[in-house]
Chains A and B, each alone.
Chain A
């Protein structure tokens, strides 16, 4: 869309004002009908703008349209870097990095990710974790979980896995055994197939352009105690 947010704000307010004024000509502002007409005009204008914006957003966030990368991004190495121009962090693609030592075709990747999403919903992940910042607050945010340094630093040695994705699968299948804190994730009985699909999903999610959320992910000045 070629309009800035400010133009949209001004246009919606102006339309409400002009439409309401025309429809309430000659009425006192103490007359309920005055407010009734303004209410109808205001609601219709705002709802119309919401629909237009919704169509535009759906288009810009379709799979493979830039903001939401193509499923084959799971074959790539993903990073998260400060974009100097906007002052916000953006996911970047840093060359090839097969997942589970495999390069997926677009169809295979899509099937895997669909399975991952179904698995995430079937186990109510969102009722402990946040995904893209939405959900519950009992467990860490998963938006950039794929990029979390803890997999390499703690979970690979702990699970005895060779790669990050393997460590993730082992953790997801037996989270109660690989706990690092008193709040343990319950065992949700993921099959290996499901666990792999979830890992792929987390990789894909970490490549979504979230306008810089979370800020400076992984760059911590927090002192552990």
Chain B
């Protein structure tokens, strides 16, 4: 094992928690998917609302933890020095992990509270994705500030700032600031959802997208040796296109929540353009890999980079575009279409980014002098995850189209129309497929675990050691 900076040791801490939570996400996803098929399963113990909440909250937390890990990992490369506050960094990690643990225990064992402010402060806020109670919100923001100042102080102490770090510092500030928009109570549900989307949309379609732009740009530089000048030029173009379309693209969530009509035009126009930067990212990755004739020392990282570029484009760009015009969204809004899109987009754009960093780190730790990082297991996990994700997303797409037509277009969107559509075989059978492919996804995750435990361990010692 080669020498690690303190910053990189913190990265390892973040990734170990992230990978465990990834597993937890999948387990709760499987339970939720099974409850669709057999609604009495755990009906009185862990109802669907709780398993689903655990599924998506685990996702948000592990993805963020992976991003933080990635930032700590590349920090010494970009600044030429170690992190300023190593102890502080570890403390922040510990606090975050402990807070997540407490929140999860309360979710599982307390689940719900009375309709009062105590519940919002200590049990759940009941708002999808950001259910975490208020005390945890404040804690998360405090920890994020510690992390932020640690990164910023390191950059400024180093006396130089690369383009990547410049974009990162501004983007992180926006990311943390947006979270505050989701931290207050209002009886007005239109205002509630208006600000809720500031967090959710301006995270995944603006600040997270730019953040992974930085992480993937650095990864391309690292894995393929693309020159910094090219990476930074592309990054600025991406920032222009992502923020230029994604900020007002927010309007595609303001069609039907009581907000004024002008959002139909503004949201429809800008969100339709949101796929453009995602196409640019594909061009960028494929062009770079072509220039280097696919020569790399880190096969799994390179292939996950490709998957990130294509997954982001298809999941966010194509699947997002499918239902983003108000004329379509009027009927598809709040159906399985959104679940189909949400799965492919989060997987392609964000899961893939974190896995790229896992392999970059593993190479550094296990096979720093080469020859190259490779194994058979990563291919199995890679293909397995792609196939099973496509299977789940395809199943939900069928269910989503059918639900849109049956419940919303032919039907009158009522309670009974909902039930009738859910019982239609075009909707109910895909739920079986989704569960089956979900199992396959989980098995692929186990192969991934096996791979990250073993890759780079054996190969060099067999080949390099003299007899």
Q: Give chain A nearest CB distance to B121 CB in angstroms.
A: 11
Contacts of B239 in A (CB 8 A): 39, 43
Residues of A contacting B196 in the complex (Cβ-Cβ under 8 angstroms): 134
The answer to whether A60 and B126 touch across the interface, beta carbons within 8 angstroms, is: no
Q: How far is the CA of A157 from the CA of B319 in the complex (A)?
A: 43
Cα distance A35–B422 in the bound complex, in angstroms? 49
Cβ of A94 under 8 Å from chain B: no
Residues of chain B within 8 A (CB-CB) of A126 are 126-128
Are A197 and B266 touching (Cβ within 8 A)? no
Closest A residue to B255 using CB positions: A211
Pair A49/B248 contact, Cβ less than 8 Å: yes
Is A217 within 8 A of B414, CB to CB?
Answer: yes
From 17 to 65 in chain A, residues with beta carbon under 8 angstroms from any chain B beta carbon are: 30-32, 35-36, 38-39, 42-43, 46-47, 49-50, 53-54, 56-58, 60-63
Q: Is A158 an interface residue (CB 8 A)?
A: no
B426 interface contact, C-beta 8 A: no
CB nearest neighbor in A for B194: A57
Q: Which of B110-118, B367-375, B441-449 contacts A (4 or more CB under 8 A)?
A: B110-118
The stretch from B47-55, B135-143, B146-154, B376-384 touching chain A is: B47-55
B5 within 8 A of A: no
Contact (Cβ within 8 A) A123 B112: yes
A224 at interface by CB-CB < 8 Å: yes
Q: Which residues of A contact B190 (CB under 8 A)?
A: 61, 67-68, 132, 208
Rounded to whole Å, the gap between the CB of A184 and the closest CB of chain B is 7
Is A136 close to B, CB under 8 A?
Answer: yes
The residue in A54, A148, A220 that gathers the most chain B C-beta atoms within 10 A of its C-beta is A220
Q: In the bound complex, how far is the Cα of B232 from the Cα of A123, in angstroms? A: 47
Specify the chain B residue showing the minimal Cβ separation from A8.
Answer: B266
Cα A188 to Cα B49 in complex, Å, equals: 11
Nearest chain B residue, comparing its CB with the CB of A113: B187
Alpha-carbon distance between A156 and B244 when the two chains are bound, in angstroms: 52
Q: In the bound complex, do residue A67 and residue B258 qualify as a contact, i.e. CB atoms below 8 Å apart?
A: yes
Report the Cα distance A39→B43, complex, angstroms.
Answer: 50
Specify which chain A residues have a CB less than 8 angstroms from the CB of B248 in the assembled complex: 12, 46, 49-50, 53
Tell whether A110 is near chain B: CB-to-CB under 8 Å: yes
The range of chain B's interface size is 35 or more
Candidates A39, A50, A67, A148; contact of B236 at CB < 8 Å? A39
Which of A49, A126, A130, A190 gathers the greatest number of chain B CB atoms within 10 Å? A126
Given the complex of chains A and B, what is the CA–CA distance between A153 and B13 in angstroms? 57
Q: Which residues of A contact B114 (CB under 8 A)?
A: 119, 122, 191, 194
Grouping DSSP codes into helix (H, G, I), strand (E, B) and loop, the B interface class, with mixed when no group exceeds half, is: helix
Q: Quick one: given A16-B244, A61-B259, A209-B258, are A222 and B411 in contact (CB under 8 Å)?
A: yes
- Whether the pair A121, B127 counts as a contact (CB closer than 8 A) is yes
Chain B residue contacts of A84, Cβ below 8 A:
none
Q: Which partner residue on chain B sits nearest A54 by CB separation?
A: B194
Binds B, one of A100-108, A159-167, A175-183: A175-183
A138 touches B48 (CB 8 A): yes
* Interface: A135 (CB within 8 A): yes
Closest to A16 in B: B244
Binds A, one of B65-73, B94-102, B288-296, B327-335: B327-335
Q: Once the chains bind, are B244 and A124 in contact (CB under 8 Å)?
A: no
Partner of A122, one of B124, B192, B415: B124
* CB of A141 closer than 8 Å to a CB of B: yes
Q: Could you tell me the distance in whole angstroms from the C-beta of B173 to the nearest C-beta in chain A?
A: 13
- Measured CB to CB, the closest approach of chain B to A3, in angstroms, equals 8
Which residue of chain B lies nearest to A12 when distances are taken between CB atoms in the complex? B248
Contacts A36-B163, A67-B260, A122-B119 given; indicate if A134 touches B128 (C-beta within 8 A). Answer: yes
Nearest Cβ on chain B to A219's Cβ, whole angstroms: 5
Complex Cα distance, B203 from A24, in Å, reads 29
In addition to A119-B114, A154-B416, 19 A-B residue pairs with Cβ atoms within 8 Å of each other are A32-B236, A47-B243, A50-B247, A53-B248, A63-B188, A67-B190, A68-B188, A115-B115, A116-B115, A118-B115, A124-B111, A134-B257, A136-B48, A150-B414, A186-B43, A213-B330, A215-B408, A217-B412, A225-B420
Give the top 6 A-B pairs by smallest Cβ distance, nearest first: A5-B265, A119-B115, A121-B126, A213-B256, A35-B236, A214-B413
Q: Which residue numbers of A lie inside 8 Å of B, CB to CB?
A: 1, 3-6, 8-9, 12, 16, 30-32, 35-36, 38-39, 42-43, 46-47, 49-50, 53-54, 56-58, 60-63, 67-68, 110, 113-128, 130-141, 143-145, 148-150, 154, 180-184, 186, 188-191, 194, 197, 205, 208-225
